[in-house]
Structure 1
């Protein structure tokens, strides 16, 4: 057999992902915030793309293309993509002259002109610009609201009022800089004294005084010291309470009888002491400087129809609306050179593909959401106890898509229903076998475990075996270890800890 170079001709099949296909897949798995950011980047990069800023039509004028209900009372997803959601350039002329429109209440109706001519007559009003002599106050009420102070500014003001010595103020400022988000010190007092070159006693004296600052309990080294400062401020740090703080691990394990022995109190006093400790703030700085909660904007809106079905539509607030500026392309291309024409042709192709990808993304989301509503109709009508087991393959087979596509569609997408706002992935749960051959949703079983524990009394605490027996009587064939796993996921203590806690109610 000769060894040497040679040429072979072979035929093979391979899947090549074009840049446009990668973009479509990436858009499909993006959340609405990520899509909005991507669109902003494309608007800056592509001169042929522009935002559609036409006002939304009233509900009576923007009805769906076809709102005929289908099986199970859920309207077909493709029929509920509104025509104006992702318009093309042909729908709106981009060279539209707004000067030809009639503005109710404007100059044509006798209102003063906003230009210089209007500003010189009749009271020196400058239209929207205010008076020409700047006598009017154009600030809105939101401009008069005082901005909230952060925690360090609040503590700095107390520091300046509490210490007259410059060295003590310098130590206090250093302690403020070392606070973590919970209000604890991130360095030991010994290390602080060594870094600043001062005595440890002086650092501790300043720290002890600052622990009484508002909010009380800051600058502590651990949880016990934080709670002790708050109790001392209320004049409740007696020997029994100090013993309780020294044994917080017993309180965490709910070993109330051992705590009563250690503290030397009876059950009634122990209940009052535990209630006082629970009323304290373990993280006094957490209420300050917190970032505002981000509002969750659903991608799909769902509402009931008069005939007992469900109507689905995409949320217009999350729908990116862009247009391809065909007229600008037609004006520029004849006067462009070869290189510019190549660039504009590429930008035009990218813009058209982006609009098409956004339309396909909207239709796919609505189609998958409609099928999920069909499958989980019992949940929307009767609650979580009627949630059905569901996997990606069930939806993929119904909508004739690949499982990976359904997974991308349901990731970071939310639907607003009459029972709240849920992520689409919430409706996919594993199946638990039933005693009669049927299956039950794992989420419904977890909900039932929580209900059983919530209904128990101090004299009848359910063990994991008792919960298994109760579920089997209801037709759920479940193992004890599965119940223990679900109970821990729900952050429900064990039966021993619950019995200890309810033996001495706090």
Structure 2
């Protein structure tokens, strides 16, 4: 005999965890599959009023994933949880009841214009197309680009403003204003994103798209630059005028035109468009007239299912064999657990999203420079859940806010410690300060990295010189020696 301890996850607990990590689209497919296989499950109609189906009292307490009490009395209908309200800068929250075209790019250059925005056997991936959209492809590259949390927010917004042809629709000024960011910072992020595959993506015009492709091939020279600046002549087939403006002879010009025809004016054309589905937000963040923020679930993405008690009572009243009784009993248990798990999932998402908004209220109020350092453990400790649960919730869940549409995981960033044990600073906020200091330099007062360290230390930021150098280089800012040479050359 041997005594030991082990962790056993029941099928019901596994189901609850599985539902947490599904996106709202995957969840809808999962629920549809469960309704198909379980005769006791029905979709709840918007105006359904059945005492038999909705007799359970409304419960507002949070259901913990490891709570195994009261399993036999789970609610039969999912009710939408309420919303939490936050006051910017205070870190406090109070309860509040719930309140109910892109470019036309073609091979005809004369018409081309630039862009302006249940069961264990259920397999989510088997129900989804293997084709991916351009947006998904770009987001996958964004996740491994090494951006800070704030720059990922900017990159995500740039991708969301990119159309199916691969062109950026919105102006950088509008994006910067919406995010409370520096336009130069948005442009720096765009420069990195324009290096994503497919080559030429996220350009703002046909000439810029072709320029990116030529640079990638190492074929962008003054003659090609002149040709791209005169695409109207290409459309007119005015070879003599083209040769004059490009400064080449006819043979070279024909080679250049042949090379131009090898480029794609629609870099996003090779990606799926008919299978892509617009992502719906899981939660909404609204700014209230008093300056506070309200967080509420998107009821449209919450599957509403009911257990058909009348049918259950009718079936169980009929004499059945043991195998049939077992099947009906299993269907009833699965229906009860699914409804409980859906309710649990909704409450958990609301809890996590509410805490993110509470922690990052300065970002929503003032912009990306005020993004605070945040990790999964901080959120998990406050809402008293496991870190892995928070990780599942923040993946493939989206938040619609006054500053844009973001995946929850983008609000987590690295941090820089504060002097004297004060509150840590977001790495992106520190990077932003470094840029502002250098942008404010006078010609005769170029700051060295050591001087920047001294200034940041006076602000209560504990940072090493090598970290300043790393952040400066990530912003494509030359060293102090190079900046002095540039100032002397331009004087």
Q: TM-score range by the shorter chain?
A: 0.5 to 0.7
The count of corresponding residues between Structure 1 and Structure 2 is 327
> Offset at 1:356?
0.4
Q: Which residue of 2 aligns with 1:380?
A: 364
Q: CA deviation at 1:493?
A: 4.8
Q: How does 1:301-340 map to 2 (within 5 A)?
A: 301-333=284-316, 334=318, 336-340=320-324
How far is the alpha carbon of 1:400 from its aligned partner?
A: 1.8
Q: Is the 8 A contact 1:388 1:440 kept in 2?
A: yes
Residue aligned with 1:317, SS: helix
Mapped to 2, the partners of 1:181 and 1:375 lie a distance apart of 36
Correspondences of 1:207-356 after superposition (within 5 Å):
223-225=217-219, 233=234, 234-235=242-243, 236-238=245-247, 284-286=265-267, 288-292=269-273, 295-333=278-316, 334=318, 336-356=320-340
**What is the CA distance between 1:471 and its match in structure 2?**
2.7
Pair 217,68 (structure 1): closer, same or farther in 2 beyond 3 Å: closer
1:475 and 2:460 are equivalent in the alignment: yes
Question: Aligned Cα RMSD in Å?
Answer: 4.6
CA contact (8 A) 2:82 2:296 kept: no
Aligned to 1:97: none
Q: What does the per-residue CA deviation read over 1:233-256, in whole Å, with 9 as the maximum and x for residues that have no partner?
A: 54444369x99xxxxxxxxxxxxx
1:39 to 24, 31, 35: 31
Shift of the 46–297 alpha-carbon distance from structure 1 to 2, 3 Å rule, reads same
TM-score (ref. length: structure 2): 0.54
How far 1:479 moved relative to its partner?
1.6
Instruction: Please give the per-residue CA displacement for 1:127-154, whole angstroms capped at 9, x wherever unaligned.
Output: xxxxxxxxxxxxxxxxxxxxx99xxxxx
Q: Distance in 2 between matches of 1:458 and 1:287?
A: 44
**Contact (CA 8 Å) 2:356, 2:379: kept in 1 or not?**
yes
Other structure's SS at 1:11 match? coil
What is the deviation of 1:301? 1.0
Residues 355-364 or 398-407, more deviating: 398-407
Query: Unmatched 5+ residue regions in structure 2?
Result: 50-78, 101-163, 166-196, 201-208, 228-233, 235-241, 253-260
Distance in 1 of aligned mates of 2:212 and 2:448: 41
For 1:362, the equivalent position in structure 2 comes to 346
Alignment TM-score, normalising by the size of structure 1: 0.53
Q: CA deviation at 1:16?
A: 0.4
1:313 is paired with a residue whose SS is strand
Q: Give unmatched runs, 5+ long, in structure 1.
A: 1-7, 58-62, 83-147, 150-179, 184-214, 244-279
Larger Rg: 1
- The answer on whether the counterparts of 1:226 and 1:282 sit within 8 Å (CA) in structure 2 is no
Using the alignment, how far apart are the partners of 1:50 and 1:503 within structure 2? 76
Structure 2 residue 389 is matched with structure 1 residue 405: yes
For residue 343 of structure 1, report the CA deviation from its aligned partner.
1.8
Preserved contact between residue 40 and residue 308 of structure 2 (Cα < 8 Å): yes
